[in-house]
Amino acid sequence: MTISEDLEHVLHRAFVGAREAGHSILTPEHLALEMILEPEVATFLERCGTDLVAVESRLRAYLEKVESVSDDKLETVPTATFQRLMNVAIERTERDHREHVMLRDVFLALLDERKTIASSAIVEAIRDTASFEQLRTFRADQEGRGAT
């Protein structure tokens, strides 16, 4: 199993962002901040009337509260929640009999992880919840039929 190129880029940017901020942990919020910059995710959220500026602002405010360490040998490691999101995305990929974990797999796992600031920031900024659920259901149906 491999990860798609766009997901690889998002994961890399999230890791680099956490490290540059002096964070010893890589959180779902680091990931969400990078995901909303991706055209696929941004387009999906915009179609649901999501206030992306509000989402970004809330994520940045949360990340500013994460303890920073000024150490050249800083090791940034994923939190248990971050790892769980990735595992859920991998399971989804396996269930759909696909070889590549896609950005949308991780995005949907993130949205379903309701106990995170990342999920709350996104879900609470969605203005058209009916469209959101409709788009989400449509995506799941398409994936279930083998579309990628």
Q: What is the pLDDT of residue 147?
A: 43
To the nearest whole percent, how much of the chain has pLDDT over 70? Answer: 90
What are the sequence ranges of the domains in the chain? 2-144
Rg of the chain's alpha carbons, rounded to an integer? 15
CA gap 127, 132 in Å, rounded: 9
Measured between alpha carbons, how far is residue 43 from residues 27, 53, 62, 90, 120 in Å?
A: 23, 14, 24, 23, 19
Q: Using pLDDT thresholds of 50, 70 and 90, give the confidence band for residue 17.
A: very high
Measured between alpha carbons, how far is residue 22 from residues 15, 25, 37, 117 in Å?
A: 11, 9, 22, 20
CA gap 23, 104 in Å, rounded: 26
> What average pLDDT does the chain have?
88
Higher pLDDT, 8 or 136: 8
* Phi (first) and psi of residue 51, to 5 degrees: -85, 90
Task: Write the pLDDT tens digit of every residue in 112-142.
Answer: 888 899 999 998 898 877 777 766 665 544 5
- Whether the pLDDT of residue 93 is over 70: the answer is yes
3-state secondary structure 73-126: CCCCEECHHHHHHHHHHHHHHHHCCCCEECHHHHHHHHHHCCCCHHHHHHHHCC
141: buried, middle or exposed (CB in 10 Å: 19+, 13-18, 0-12)? exposed
Higher pLDDT, 26 or 71: 26
Q: What is the pLDDT of residue 148?
A: 41
pTM score, whole prediction: 0.86
Domain 2-144 has CATH 3.40.50.360: no
Q: Which residue(s) pair with 77 in the sheet? A: 25
